[in-house]
Amino acid sequence: MKVKVLRDTFASGELLRAGKVHDVADDDARVLIAMRKAEAFQGKEKPEKPAKGDSSGGAADGGPQQGGDGTLPLGQG
């Protein structure tokens, strides 16, 4: 059963982080919900956003480098 964890906890020997959706055994899910450490999850999970500072293009990953005025050097665009 999928549950959204409300507080960091353990189930079946695994760390479950608050705010995340985890698929756990039905018995574990019932216990976590009864302890108010999780709630039943219905729906689709949202994909995680990349961390800030994560390069998604540009010079750090070998992409073209922009000049100081935001233009690309000749032959680069």
Q: Give the model's pLDDT for residue 48.
A: 60
Examine the pLDDT at 22 and tell me if it is beyond 70: yes
Q: Give the model's pLDDT for residue 44.
A: 76
pLDDT digits (tens, 9 = 90+) for 52-77: 765 555 555 555 565 556 666 666 55
Q: Count CB-CB contacts under 10 A for residue 3.
A: 22
Q: How would you list the strands of the sheet with 38-40, edge to edge?
A: 21-23, 2-5, 38-40
Do 65 and 73 meet the contact criterion of CB atoms below 8 Å apart?
yes
Q: Count CB-CB contacts under 10 A for residue 5.
A: 21
pLDDT band of 7, cuts 50, 70, 90: very high
Do 53 and 22 meet the contact criterion of CB atoms below 8 Å apart?
no
pLDDT digits (tens, 9 = 90+) for 30-44: 999 999 999 999 887
